[in-house]
């Protein structure tokens, strides 16, 4: 979601938290919405419900969004174990979030044009 469409300003999130010795440099920072940053906290991984295995979270700096998720009627559908643990931990599909995404898609504002490259999609505009 583009920061202009968010109620609270985005935060610079440490992908690997400082408490786990994650450095403060561009390669370890992600511009995250308030809710994602809050829900991720210092977590690095979670337990995948399908396999019972510990899986690391999606890393927006080194993973491709389209390999782990797809957008479906406002829902962010996980495609991999990494996608599943990230979707669960960051609660991507709360009813309010899904509805908000649907409205933004309808308004042509989601995914944000600067996020399309991250999704591996061309900007249609
Ligand atoms: Zn977010």
Q: Provide the whole-model pTM.
A: 0.88
Q: 21 C-alpha to center of ligand 1: Å?
A: 23
Please list all protein residues whose beta carbon sits less than 5 angstroms from ligand 1, which is an ion: 33, 36
Q: 36 C-alpha to center of ligand 1: Å?
A: 4
Q: Name the residue ranges covered by the structural domains of the chain.
A: 3-119
pLDDT tens string for the chain (125 positions)?
899 999 999 999 999 999 999 999 999 999 999 999 999 999 999 999 999 999 999 999 999 999 999 999 999 999 999 999 999 999 999 999 999 999 999 999 998 876 655 555 554 43
CA atoms within 13 A on the CB side of 76: 27
CA dist 90 → 10, 37, 38 (Å): 15, 8, 9
């Amino acid at each position: 979601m583009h920061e202009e469409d968010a109620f609270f300003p985005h935060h610079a999130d440490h992908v690997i938290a400082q408490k786990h010795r994650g450095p403060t440099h561009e390669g370890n920072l992600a511009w995250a919405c308030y809710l994602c940053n809050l829900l991720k906290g210092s977590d690095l991984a979670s337990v995948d419900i399908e396999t019972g295995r510990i899986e690391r979270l999606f890393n927006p700096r080194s993973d491709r969004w389209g390999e782990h998720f797809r957008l479906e009627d406002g829902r962010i559908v996980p495609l991999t174990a990494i996608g599943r643990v990230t979707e669960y931990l960051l609660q991507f599909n709360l009813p309010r979030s899904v509805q908000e995404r649907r409205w933004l898609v309808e308004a042509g504002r989601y995914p944000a044009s600067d996020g399309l490259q991250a999704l591996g999609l061309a900007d249609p505009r």
